[in-house]
Amino acid sequence: MLDWTTCSAVERITGKVGGAWLFKGTRVPVSALFENLEDGATVSDFLEWFPGVTRTQVEAVLEHTGQSLSVA
**CATH number for 38:** 1.10.10.10
Host domain of residue 60: 4-70
State the Cα torsion 69-12-8-42 to the nearest 10°.
60
Helix axes 30-38, 55-70, angle to 10 degrees: 80
Band (pLDDT 50/70/90 cuts) for residue 1 is confident
How many domains, in total, are found in the chain?
1
> Over the stretch 12-61, which tens digit does the pLDDT of each residue have?
999 999 999 999 999 999 999 999 999 999 999 999 999 999 999 999 99
